[in-house]
């Protein structure tokens, strides 16, 4: 599996947003598809390159690799 280096955070509230970590993804397209499937009511989302953000040391990292109905990775 490619490295899951993109971090997804969602907000279920309107402004001010309350951001919640949801997981690490191989790319932002996968994060978007995952959000649409699991949290269609989300008010906002951010997909960020892990290298540019500070993650908590005690983070329980959740990694996702989304595939289509034929088992092909979504790019």
How many other C-beta atoms can be found within 10 angstroms of the C-beta atom of residue 31? 26
d(CA 31, CA 58): 22
Q: What does the block give as tokens for 2?
A: 């490619």
CA 52/CA 16 separation, integer angstroms: 23
Compute CA distances 25 → 8, 33, 73, whole Å: 7, 11, 11
One digit per residue, the tens of pLDDT, for the chain of length 75 reads 568 999 999 999 988 889 999 999 999 999 999 999 999 999 999 999 999 999 889 999 999 998 888 988 888
């Amino acid at each position: 599996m490619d490295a899951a280096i993109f971090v997804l955070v969602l907000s279920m509230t309107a402004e001010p947003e309350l951001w919640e970590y949801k997981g690490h993804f191989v790319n932002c397209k996968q994060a978007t598809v995952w959000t649409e499937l699991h949290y269609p009511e989300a008010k906002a989302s951010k997909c960020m390159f892990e290298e540019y953000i500070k993650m908590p040391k005690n983070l329980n990292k959740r990694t996702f690799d989304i595939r289509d109905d034929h088992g092909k990775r979504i790019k």
